[in-house]
Structure 1
Amino acid sequence: MGTLTTAQIIRRSKIAIVLMVGVFGVLIVFSNLTDYQSNYIYLGHILSMDTTNSHLQYRAITSEMMHHRIYWMIMTLETIFTSSCLLGCYQLYKQLDASPEQFHEAKKYAVLGFLVGLFVYYFCLQVIGNEWFDMDQSEDWNAMKWAQSIVDFLIPALIYLVLKVDN
């Protein structure tokens, strides 16, 4: 480690963070594909609002066809999130010893991946799932804490990634 500069360590840490997020995405996509039914049932309960005792039941989506379509949309977005992060990690690794401008430009796929992840876990789950479908009212089918933990990691990681402190 004595031969690495602080800037080189920072660059490697950014690559490691993007890789960790990408591996997280791989596990999510793998889980969704190999355990489709469990995750589908979870989403179905959220969309149906059948465990919320909410006066907003008119918002519920009870069509199984729509549940499948929304689930496939989420899985597609998670695949884009994962692919972008892994591609971003590769691009950053390729530019590890490049100029600061080239290394910064190589962040674009990782930034895109993080933004798609935030769209899924913040906007889709927390905003739509919670505010429209009252997900937080369900004791059994509530993904708020899980989604919040992802958002709590992605936002500071995104800020750290885009900072130009890796010159």
Structure 2
Amino acid sequence: MWILRLSKIAVTAAIALFAGLVAFGNLTDYGTNFAFVHHVFLMDTVFEQATIKYRAIQTPWIQHVGYVGIIAAETATALLCGWGAARLWRRRNAGAREFNRGKDVAIAGLSLGFLVWQVAFMSVGGEWFGMWMSKEWNGVPDAFRFFITIMAVLIYVSRPDTELDT
């Protein structure tokens, strides 16, 4: 049972690392990565005959607010998952009840990460702004891969742990 606890700590830390690297990349290469958000909001590369183009947001400051919101949520995901992994690490030798109670921050971080990539990218970007129609600016496959990975980790980590074998 001890290896399961270490595994849950490690996979939570791995998501913290992933989300942290994504947020870091978005902050340190803001302009390049903002171009993605800009084109998704503009809907300038969706199918020419698409009738949903009225949804486009052309106001630059709103686009920046959206992008900063994404970066903030990615950063919060990284921080919560990192904090959650640390809390679990401190409880790795504790009783099952204490270890399970220590999962709350990790579960919050993993849930937020799921919501970032499923809601912001798949639902809002992919469906509302028609990102799936763009050959150049389609982040749907990547977002799917990210949130499915995070969901698998969330399911695994949230499974109740039992007492350690002695």
Whether these two folds match at TM > 0.5 is: yes
Query: Partner of 2:120 in structure 1?
Result: 124
CA distance in 1: counterparts of 2:56 and 2:124, whole angstroms: 12
- Distance apart, 1:31 and its partner CA: 0.1
Query: Partner of 1:137 in structure 2?
Result: 133
Query: Partner of 1:36 in structure 2?
Result: 30
Summarize deviations over 1:126-152 as a string: whole Å, max 9, x none. Answer: 011111000000000000111011112
RMSD, aligned CA: 0.8
CA distance in 2: counterparts of 1:155 and 1:119, whole angstroms: 10
Whether 1:24 aligns to 2:18 is: yes
Query: Partner of 1:68 in structure 2?
Result: 64
Whether 1:115 aligns to 2:111 is: yes
Structure 2: 5+ residue stretches without partners: none
Contact kept? 1:10, 1:166, Cα under 8 Å: no
- Distance apart, 1:76 and its partner CA: 0.8
Summarize deviations over 1:98-123 as a string: whole Å, max 9, x none. Answer: 01011011111110011111111001
Ranges of 4+ aligned residues in structure 1 off by more than 4 Å: none
Summarize deviations over 1:56-111 as a string: whole Å, max 9, x none. Answer: 11000111111100001111111111100000010000000001011011111110
CA distance in 2: counterparts of 1:149 and 1:131, whole angstroms: 17
Contact kept? 1:91, 1:106, Cα under 8 Å: yes
TM-score w.r.t. the length of structure 2 is 0.94
Query: Partner of 1:4 in structure 2?
Result: none
Whether 1:153 aligns to 2:149 is: yes
CA distance in 2: counterparts of 1:95 and 1:143, whole angstroms: 37
Contact kept? 1:45, 1:51, Cα under 8 Å: yes
TM-score w.r.t. the length of structure 1 is 0.94
Structure 1: 5+ residue stretches without partners: 1-6
Contact kept? 1:8, 1:166, Cα under 8 Å: no
CA distance in 1: counterparts of 2:55 and 2:41, whole angstroms: 9
Contact kept? 2:46, 2:130, Cα under 8 Å: yes
- Distance apart, 1:165 and its partner CA: 3.6
CA distance in 1: counterparts of 2:19 and 2:44, whole angstroms: 29
1:99 is matched with which residue: 95, 102, 121? 95
